Structure 1
Amino acid sequence: MKRSIGAALRIPYGHLPKLWGINHSTYNSLWTTASRKMSGTKRPGDGLGPKAGEKRWKRKKTAQEAESSLRSTGSHEEILLEDVRFLLKTSLEPGFDYSQSQASTPQQFSQVQLSISMLSSTGDGLAVSQDGTRVYVVPFTVPGDVVVAKVVKNFPSHSMTDLVEVKEPSKDRDDDLVFCKYFGRCSGCQFQMLSGDYQLQHKHKVIAKAMQNFSNLDQTLVPPVGEVMPSPLLQGYRTKLTPHFDGPRRGGFKEGAPVPDIGFQLKGRSFVLDIEDCPIGTDAVRDGFRSQRDYVKQNLHTFKRGATLLLRESTERTFSSVVSDGGEKTAQCHTDIKTCVSDSKALVTEWVGAAKFSSPAGSFFQNNNSILEKFTTFVQEQLVIPNLPGQDPSESYLIDAYCGSGLFSICCGHGFKGILGVDISSQSIESARQNATENGIYNARFITGNAEAIFADVDFPPEYTSVVIDPPRKGCDELFLSQLLQLGPKRLVYISCNVHTMARDIGWLVRQDLGKNYTIDKIGGFDFFPQTHHVEGYAVLSKNG
């Protein structure tokens, strides 16, 4: 039973009692009940999550690390459980021990009327049972909604449900804002019925809760969370989509076989929802989506199994000069032609302001171009170290860890005497070198890092050095963070697509002996993915002395 519960939640067994706020003896008594109640379909992850599948700086864990089960993973389930615990504690009488109560377990597939009281960090509405001992997780709902929901799966403290009907809409719900016919079934978007301002306010709270629940810091060390920078586009912004379809386990598709559903995960199920168009994609990506659907239909027999389709926007920019009446060239303008690339090895081109980036279509690059220029400008401002008395202002250096194809090195490297980009992917390093040359950046070098000695080739003076890191969703491991503290840069800017692992990592840094001299200057976020629960976070730290 230990294995089945741990597998169902995708977190170590030893971590579960801590997450549920109960002791091990109480948890043991739930085994038999849980084995009977935990049935239903597997709940999938978010198929549209940013940076899905990134495996940079992956290595085998040491025996000591493998034994540790208390380090937060920042998983969807772990984040949800924090909100469930909070709501249960606030709904019960002071001093009531909900972990010892006999929470009534609803019958699977039964329907229940609920009043939504909270929006979780995972994007689902939360409601408390009448006796205050169970939380219902209801997708596509807003605090203030009165709804009918169908119970899909039961856990000891909460039940996962499907939304059946909104009987009384919240004052904050506006269904006229919904622009996609698949909303409410597709797992990609959660918030299309909410205004842009409401979404920003919610994501601000998500960052604050992450720092409170996952940093393990005295909150006096954490500054107030800054405003979340809005995206210029609320739809039509995604420059990359990866729809998929399932196939036979063996033998491939036969001639005349029915065409499978092609699209994204059905919310709450391990099935694909057939989707013909995704309006959060750019026009080029949406055109490519339709084209790739047709290709699969016409060539289905060539597929050995199911597949994931790559849809990546590429921009060809042509320049021309504006000539005045006197025949003089007064300005230069450009025209962009957008196309969709589906070959993961083909080169695509992305422009961020005046900076040009080329990289393989299958490699990682931020997927909302509309916000990138403001985003990189902000990051550049945070990387600047205030000059010390008598210091040459040109005496400053930048390290771009997890540099990828060189986004921060190129867009944020102006004014630095030297730049070093480090990544474990040799393909990314090659792209970064070519992009630096293309953009006239000659003070930067890029190296393929070794996970065990990432900063071995760094010779910058740490008191004049800034570091920007942008890890994948799982965040940084303690080996990387330890090396970062040994390096001891003056300024650190942490960018993250998972604010919960960011909070964990920042908290770990500040709690170490070498990290006690660091102050957290700023915490905030960017709305890279409107209509979804995802928020890009940032943290700025400075070393004292």
Structure 2
Amino acid sequence: MATGQPTTQDAGAAPRAPGSDGAKQPGKRPFQGRQHGKPVKHRKKKQPKPVQEGSPEEVLLAEPAPLPDHGAEIELDVIELSSTGDGLARQKGSDHIYVVPFSVPGDTVKARVRHHNLDDGYTLTDFLSVVAPSALRDDGRIRCRYFGVCSGCQFQMLDYAEQLKIKRNIVVKAYRSFSGLAPELVPDILPTIGSPLQYGYRTKLTPHFDGPPGNSRRGPKKPHASAPPFGFTPKGTRKVLDIEDCPIGTEAVRRGLAAERKRLEAEYGRYVKGATILLRESTRRVPKASPTDAVPAPEGVPADAVRVETDTHVDFKTCITDQNATAREYIDDFVFTNPAGAFFQNNNSILSPFTAYIREHILPRDGAPTTKPIRYLIDAYSGSGLFTITQASLFPGGSIGIDIAEKSIAFARRNAALNGLAGDPGDPGQGAEDARCRFIAADAPELFKSVRGVYDPDETVVVLDPPRKGCDASFLRQLLEYAPRRVVYVSCNVHTQARDVGVLVRGAVEEEQRGQHKVRYAIESIRGFDFFPQTGHVEGVAVLNRVDA
């Protein structure tokens, strides 16, 4: 795209910029236009009217206005939000797109030009100040003194209901741009489910500090001469921003941050390079004999542990900094243990409504046509067993989890035992009645080899919760070949989720077919969950049913 030229988009559509309708982000290969190596056939765009020769419009297009220099401070009008939470803005009299963090539609802002991405027709900027606020903006809502500099949050100035609307729109645009599906194949995106806590929800933070300046890669290293900045990375730079507190962290994690800052201030001379510090909340639950029962802290729990009391129990919450220590979390009456440094959802407050939603939608709705009742659950990318365990009661034939990490499977088996669902972790076909959950350590694409002939696909639902990159083509091919009755796809990246769901709905990966019958799926529902309030992130849940010709 020529510098200064208008962007190519349908009238009224959001401008294309990083994180919007599929535009390429710097340094990353785009999703749009390809599905697992094959081009996606998009609808033909409306061709612009030809410019009349000799007209003023032709002159303007031939001589576009120059873009401002790097470092220039400019005034911009914000017109839309990208799916990364950044504002998309224009200068008056220009159609060129500027990406402005910490801004909302309707704002007029001052920003500093940081980088022109001429190949994709947008410019990255640094937010400086608000010239005229949007009606959506209320800076009185901001609770963090570092907001507007720290890259962690984008939406603290917005009403929470507005944040949920924005996140629904992120899901809408993801399926519009990445699924490759005709609009009639994608149902209306349901409203995003909000988090019970909008602050004080994060059970894990990883602040860091840099190594001493001037140290070379080779040769002797000198230690820090004074306490270095300790915190998180600001927007648009790699330097660490010194942060004393983070209000989206839980109270236990925030106390851990303060303690680690104090330790660094005393021990900085020991460090000749930078480090990342783990802050992970862990919970010890003590039952109460009655609502008025006085419960002392159990042995080993520090006196300064955060105490959360209910009628039935008391939770004692502490902060772990050892990557290999065991963290414990509760979801309703379920208990989960994990290595503190391993992945587990970082917003415990939403896990109860989230797992309840999965429980309500994992089986076909009453009255839905089916030849057989669903008896089995396959939990792909199972981790430490979140879905395998919380959904096990619905499946009389049993639930089986699969994960590539041996350590995750070991903890999943331990968690099944802690929740009274343990059984022989051997062959998935073993029929012990008490073996409600089984786990296999293997690469997820090999899963269906283990269950084929054991779990009837007509009686099986598969839950997918892959990493941000989504499912690879091999896994999707095997899933289509196995053809379970129902699929529930959970994802922290709705863009790769939309891409993969498009493959399942079209029913082929790289044009392969299952014999003469092309297996495909129909989308029953799509909904977002707000696991990260105040940020541009949204978790997606898509429910699909196999289409039987």
Q: TM-score range by the shorter chain?
A: 0.7 to 0.9
**Aligned residue identity for 2:156:** Q
Give the aligned CA root-mean-square deviation in angstroms. Answer: 3.0
Give the structure 1 partner of residue 72 of structure 2: 110
Equivalences for residues 235-274 of structure 1 within 5 A: 235-247=199-211, 248-250=215-217, 254=222, 257-274=225-242
Deviation string, structure 1 residues 379-437 (Cα, Å, up to 9, x no partner): 112111358889775x5100011100101111112120211100000000000000001
Q: Is the 8 A contact 1:44 1:265 kept in 2?
A: no
TM-score by length of 1: 0.79
Evaluate the alpha carbon distance shift between residue 346 and residue 117 of structure 1 in structure 2; reply closer, same or farther with a 3 A threshold: same
Equivalences for residues 336-355 of structure 1 within 5 A: 336-355=315-334
Q: Given the alignment of the two structures, is residue 135 of structure 1 paired with residue 135 of structure 2, yes or no?
A: no
TM-score by length of 2: 0.79
Indicate the structure with greater helix content. Answer: 1
Evaluate the alpha carbon distance shift between residue 306 and residue 334 of structure 1 in structure 2; reply closer, same or farther with a 3 A threshold: same
Give the structure 2 partner of residue 418 of structure 1: 398
Q: Given the alignment of the two structures, is residue 147 of structure 1 paired with residue 78 of structure 2, yes or no?
A: no
- The structure having more radius of gyration, on CA atoms, is 2
Deviation string, structure 1 residues 203-257 (Cα, Å, up to 9, x no partner): 0100000000111111110000001000001100000001111114546864562
CA distance in 2, matches of 1:180, 1:322: 39
CA distance in 1, matches of 2:467, 2:542: 15
Evaluate the alpha carbon distance shift between residue 119 and residue 413 of structure 1 in structure 2; reply closer, same or farther with a 3 A threshold: same
**Aligned residue identity for 2:457:** P
The correspondence for 1:447, drawn from 421, 424, 440, is 440
Q: Given the alignment of the two structures, is residue 311 of structure 1 paired with residue 291 of structure 2, yes or no?
A: no
Give, in angstroms, the shift of residue 298 of structure 1: 2.3
Q: Is the 8 A contact 1:140 1:190 kept in 2?
A: yes
Evaluate the alpha carbon distance shift between residue 531 and residue 269 of structure 1 in structure 2; reply closer, same or farther with a 3 A threshold: same
Give the structure 1 partner of residue 522 of structure 2: 519
Give the structure 2 partner of residue 300 of structure 1: 268
Q: Is the 8 A contact 2:461 2:484 kept in 1?
A: yes
Give the structure 2 partner of residue 63 of structure 1: none
Give the structure 1 partner of residue 346 of structure 2: 367
Give the structure 2 partner of residue 283 of structure 1: 251
Q: Is the 8 A contact 1:103 1:133 kept in 2?
A: no
Give, in angstroms, the shift of residue 296 of structure 1: 2.4
Q: Is the 8 A contact 2:381 2:402 kept in 1?
A: yes
Q: Which moved more, 1:114-123 or 1:367-376?
A: 114-123
- Count of equivalent residues: 464
Q: Is the 8 A contact 2:480 2:520 kept in 1?
A: no
Q: Which moved more, 1:92-101 or 1:183-192?
A: 92-101
**Aligned residue identity for 1:517:** R
The correspondence for 1:495, drawn from 475, 480, 490, is 490
CA distance in 2, matches of 1:348, 1:101: 62
The correspondence for 1:507, drawn from 498, 502, 506, is 502
Give, in angstroms, the shift of residue 345 of structure 1: 0.3
The correspondence for 1:206, drawn from 154, 170, 174, is 170
**Aligned residue identity for 1:167:** V
Give, in angstroms, the shift of residue 285 of structure 1: 0.3
The correspondence for 1:234, drawn from 185, 198, 203, is 198
Give, in angstroms, the shift of residue 104 of structure 1: 2.7
Evaluate the alpha carbon distance shift between residue 398 and residue 99 of structure 1 in structure 2; reply closer, same or farther with a 3 A threshold: farther
Structure 1 residue runs of 4 or more that deviate by more than 6 Å after TM superposition: 42-45, 92-101, 387-392
Q: Given the alignment of the two structures, is residue 408 of structure 1 paired with residue 411 of structure 2, yes or no?
A: no
Evaluate the alpha carbon distance shift between residue 258 and residue 418 of structure 1 in structure 2; reply closer, same or farther with a 3 A threshold: same
CA distance in 1, matches of 2:405, 2:316: 30
Give, in angstroms, the shift of residue 110 of structure 1: 1.0
The secondary structure found in structure 1 opposite 2:245 is: coil
Evaluate the alpha carbon distance shift between residue 103 and residue 519 of structure 1 in structure 2; reply closer, same or farther with a 3 A threshold: farther
Q: Given the alignment of the two structures, is residue 165 of structure 1 paired with residue 129 of structure 2, yes or no?
A: yes
CA distance in 1, matches of 2:61, 2:318: 55
Structure 2: 5+ residue stretches without partners: 1-6, 10-24, 37-44, 52-57, 293-309, 422-434
**Aligned residue identity for 1:171:** A
Q: Given the alignment of the two structures, is residue 431 of structure 1 paired with residue 411 of structure 2, yes or no?
A: yes
Give the structure 1 partner of residue 4 of structure 2: none
The correspondence for 2:476, drawn from 464, 478, 481, is 481
The secondary structure found in structure 2 opposite 1:454 is: helix
